[in-house]
Amino acid sequence: MKKEWKEQQNGCYTVRTCGWSPPGDHPVGCGMKLHIKDGRLVKVEGDAEHPISQGRLCVRCLSLPEYVHHPQRITHPMKRVGERGENKWQQISWDEAWDIIVEKTNAIKKNYGAESIIVFGGTGREACLYYYPLGFASLGTPNVCYPLSGWSCYGPRCAITDYILGAGYPEIDFAGHFPDRYDNPEYKVPEYIVLWGKMPLMSNPDGFYGHSLIDMMKRGAKIISVDPRINWLSTRAAHRLQLRPGTDTALALGLLHVIINEDLYDHEFVDKWCYGFDELKERVQEYPPERVEEITWVKKEKIVEVARLIAKSKPTAIQWGLAVDENPNGVQLGHAILAISAITGNLDVPGGITLGPPATLLGKWRVETRSELSEELWEKRIGAKEWPALSMALATTHPDETLDTLETGKPYKLRMGWFNSSNFITPTNSAQPDRWYRALKSLEFNVVQDCFMTPTAVAFADIFLPLPTFAEHDGVVITHFGRNAIFVGAMNKAFEVGECKSDIEVCIELGKRLNPEAWPWNSVEEFFDDQLKPELGFDFNDLREMGIYQPGYTYRKHEKGLLRADGEPGFNTVTGKVELSSTLFEMWGEDPLPYYKEPFYSPVSTPELAKEYPLILTTGARTFTSFHSEHRQISTLREITPDPIMEIHPDTAANLGIKEGDWVYMENMFGKAKEKAHLTPTIHPKVVHAAHGWWYPEKPAAEPSLFGVWESNINTLIPHKHIGKLGFGAPFKSILCKVYKTE
C-alpha cells in the first residue's frame, strides 16, 4: 500500500522513515515520523503504521533531536593542524579533503602496494554494510577489519550457521516477514522462547525487536532465560538458568544429553535431514546433568526439566546472543544450540527458527565487490591463511592477526588507516585497546568518519569526514544485512546538518576518483534503484512510498529445494544435511563435534591466579541509553545513565567494604578500569558485571586524556588473541578480576 512519506503540517513538515543507528542498533528499521521546523528536527515520534515497531521507539531515537543538533557534532570535513592527539583542526572543503585523500592513497598504493591500506569498520550506522566496498572497490585494498578480538560479535553466529546449516541468519519467528503479522494463518506462536545470553528489550538486535517478545508473551509464549545475570525478562521467565559465565557450551551439551537419552528428539527430521547423529549421541554421554551442574552451577533437576520442555513444546524458538560470540568455546556453543533446534524439529517451522538465504541485496553486493581485487591481492588479506575457517566465512582480515601485523610489520607494514565510525580505543570493539592504541601510532596517514570527535579520532585522524545520522540521508535498511531479510525499509532524508555525507555517498565519491568503473552511479538514488530493481522489481521511490516491504516467508525450505544453489532438497552444506558432526571442522583440524572447554582464566583452569583475582568478570550487557560508545554526549541519555555501572552482589560488596555508589577498580593481570558499584542480588556472589563503551566527552580531548578514555576502559582487562581454534571468540564474557575501592 502506498502512502505519503513527506507531509506538510502547520508550517512544519513530517518525514516518515526507518531508523538505522545512530542512534540505534544495526539495521533494525524501526518506523518513525520526524518533525522538521525551520530546518531543525524538533520531534521524533513512533510511526503507528509501521507493521513491526507499531509506534514503539527507544529513548535513543526519541532523543535524536539532541543528537543531530548537538553543539559538539562535527558537520564539516576537517584537517588536523597540530600533532596527532592535540585536537587542533581546520575546516576544509570536501574538494580539498578528496584531493588530500586521493593523493595520499595513490602514493601509498604506488610505493607500498594497496594491501598497506586498512579499513576499520565499526558497528554503528551503516558502516557494517559499506566498509567492505569502501575497502575493496573504492580504495582497492583486501584489508577490511572488524577489530574486535575473535570477531566476537555476530560474525561467529553467521559463520557457524554457514558451516552447520549452509543458511542465512537463524532468527526467532516473530511473524515479522508477514504484513498481517501474528494473524497470518501459517504462523504459530512459540510455546517457549529460549533467550540464550541475550536481552533483546535493550539491544533490538539486527533484525529482531525486543517488543516482539512482549507481543508473543501476551499471546502465550513463555520464556526460558539462560544468562549469568537476572535481567528484567528473566524475572518474568518461566525458567531461569543462571549459569557460571563462559560455561554455556557445557549446559547446551547437558540439554542434548537429556533430549537424546530420553528419546525426545524428532526421529523423522534426524533420519532425513541430519548428518552425524550417532557421533553426537556418543559425545553427549560425556555431559550427564550431574557433571554439567558441577561445571555450570545450574541444578541438574533444572537442566532435565528445561531439556524436556524444549523438546516437547512445539514450537520452541531459541535465540542466541553474544554468549556465543564473546566466548573462545563459542563455536561449539553455536553448534550445540543449532543441534538442539534441529533435532527437536524447530528449524524453519512456524514459530521456531526462521532461516534466510546466505545473503541477498546489499549484503550480497557488499561482499561481491571483492571481485574488484586481483586474486594475488586477495591472497594478501591479513590472517586469511592462518585462519581459513574465519576467512572462508567472513571477507575481512583476522582481527587479532591485524594487531600483530601492526605491531610487527609482518607479513608487511600497514601504512594507511581508514576508520569508518569505529571508535575502537574506547572499550567497544577491541580487546586490549591500549595495545591497539600504541600499535596504530605507526600508521602514516589516517581518515576517520564519524559524527562526533571521539578518542580514536583525536588520537589518529589526519582527515575527519563528518557522517550524517539516518535522518539526514537517503538509504535502505535491510534486516540481518540481507541474511534473513524480514523486511526492507526506506530511510528518507528529512533535512541536512552542515555538509555531512553518508557512507554510500563517500564510497561513490571516492570510488569515482580512484576506481570509476566500479562506481557507475551518479546519485545514491540511482545506486539503490540498481540494488532493488533486479531482485525485488521496484525502485527506491517505490520503496519510499511503501515505507517497508515485507517479502513473506516460505517454511521448510530444505524440503522444497530452496536452500541449495543446485535447487535440490536439503541444506547447503557438504553433506546436504544439518551437520551435527561437521565435515568442515574436521577439515580445519578441529573436533567435528561440540565439546566443552573451560575459559582460559577461571577458578577451575587457573586456580592459583583465582586466589589473586577471585571474581569472574563478565561485560558488555546493553543499556537503553547507549549503543556501545555512542550517546555519551546526549544529556537526556546521560541523565538516565550518568556513570559506568559495575554490578556486584551485596554480600561480596560487604566483604570488600564497598557500598552502593562507590567508585571501584576492577583489575587483573592485563589491565584495570574504574566504574561505580551497584549492589544487586541479581548477580551471583562470585561474579561481577561491568559496563562497556565508556568515555567522557566532557573531559579534555587532547592526549593524554583523550576524553578520559583510559579511566573506565574495561576492555583493557580482556587479553588479545585468547580465541578459539577456528579464530573466533574472545573472553569478554568470562575473565578473572579483583575489585577494590578507588581510595
Q: Does 24 bind ligand SF4 (CB under 6 A)?
A: yes
Q: Are 578 and 273 in contact (CB under 8 A)?
A: yes
Q: How many chain residues bind ligand SF4 (CB under 6 A)?
A: 11
Cα 136 to Cα 142: distance, rounded to the nearest angstrom: 6
Shortest Å, Cβ 637 to ligand SF4:
11
Instruction: State which of residues 15, 52, 58, 373 lies at the interface with ligand SF4 (CB under 6 A).
Output: 58
Shortest Å, Cβ 66 to ligand SF4:
13
Closest residue (Cβ) to ligand SF4?
A: 24
- Which string of x and - marks every residue 180-209 that binds ligand SF4 (by CB under 6 A)? ------------------------x-----
Cα 354 to Cα 360: distance, rounded to the nearest angstrom: 15
Q: Who contacts 504 (Cβ-Cβ below 8 Å, separation ≥6)?
A: 126, 130, 475, 524, 527
Shortest Å, Cβ 204 to ligand SF4:
4
Q: Are 115 and 416 in contact (CB under 8 A)?
A: no
Strands 735-741 and 663-667 turn out to be: antiparallel
CA angle 494, 631, 468 (to 5 degrees): 30
CA angle 420, 422, 428 (to 5 degrees): 165
Residues in region 401-460 near ligand SF4 by CB under 6 A: none
Residues in the chain: 743
Instruction: State which of residues 16, 33, 60, 558 lies at the interface with ligand SF4 (CB under 6 A).
Output: 60
Closest to ligand SF4 by CB, 52 vs 723, is 52
Q: Are 554 and 357 in contact (CB under 8 A)?
A: no
CA angle 598, 604, 609 (to 5 degrees): 110
Instruction: State which of residues 15, 34, 36, 61 lies at the interface with ligand SF4 (CB under 6 A).
Output: 61
Listing from the earlier edge strand, what are the strands of the sheet with 445-450? 89-91, 78-80, 463-466, 445-450, 416-420, 117-121, 144-145
- Angle at which helix 248-261 crosses helix 277-284, to 10 degrees, equals 110
Cα 531 to Cα 520: distance, rounded to the nearest angstrom: 13
Q: What secondary structure letter does DSSP report for 673?
A: E
Q: Which stretch binds ligand SF4 (CB under 6 A): 17-25, 339-347, 485-493, 522-530?
A: 17-25
Instruction: State which of residues 15, 16, 17, 25 lies at the interface with ligand SF4 (CB under 6 A).
Output: 25
Instruction: State which of residues 5, 27, 28, 415 lies at the interface with ligand SF4 (CB under 6 A).
Output: 28
Closest to ligand SF4 by CB, 19 vs 358, is 19
Cα 52 to Cα 548: distance, rounded to the nearest angstrom: 10
Closest to ligand SF4 by CB, 22 vs 140, is 22
Q: Which residues pair with 420 in a beta bridge?
A: 121, 449
Q: Does 115 bind ligand SF4 (CB under 6 A)?
A: no
Torsion sign over Cα 508, 510, 513, 517: negative
Q: What secondary structure letter does DSSP report for 555?
A: S
Q: Does 57 bind ligand SF4 (CB under 6 A)?
A: yes
Q: Are 624 and 23 in contact (CB under 8 A)?
A: no
Q: Does 315 bind ligand SF4 (CB under 6 A)?
A: no
Q: Does 472 bind ligand SF4 (CB under 6 A)?
A: no
Q: Does 19 bind ligand SF4 (CB under 6 A)?
A: yes
- Which ranges in 329-380 belong to alpha helices (H)? 330-343, 361-368, 375-378
Instruction: State which of residues 15, 23, 633, 695 lies at the interface with ligand SF4 (CB under 6 A).
Output: 23
Q: Does 622 bind ligand SF4 (CB under 6 A)?
A: no
Shortest Å, Cβ 123 to ligand SF4:
12
Shortest Å, Cβ 61 to ligand SF4:
3
Closest to ligand SF4 by CB, 24 vs 321, is 24
Q: Which residues pair with 46 in a beta bridge?
A: 32
Taking only Cα atoms into account, the Rg of the chain, rounded to an integer number of angstroms, comes to 25
Shortest Å, Cβ 475 to ligand SF4:
13
Closest to ligand SF4 by CB, 374 vs 635, is 635
Q: Who contacts 305 (Cβ-Cβ below 8 Å, separation ≥6)?
A: 239
- Which string of x and - marks every residue 203-242 that binds ligand SF4 (by CB under 6 A)? -x--------------------------------------
- Which ranges in 429-502 belong to alpha helices (H)? 433-440, 455-460
Q: Does 47 bind ligand SF4 (CB under 6 A)?
A: no
Torsion sign over Cα 24, 26, 31, 37: positive
Residue 507, SS3?
A: helix
Q: Does 30 bind ligand SF4 (CB under 6 A)?
A: yes
Shortest Å, Cβ 147 to ligand SF4:
23
Shortest Å, Cβ 488 to ligand SF4:
15
Closest to ligand SF4 by CB, 211 vs 674, is 211
Chain positions contacting ligand SF4, by CB under 6 A: 19, 23-25, 28, 30, 57-58, 60-61, 204
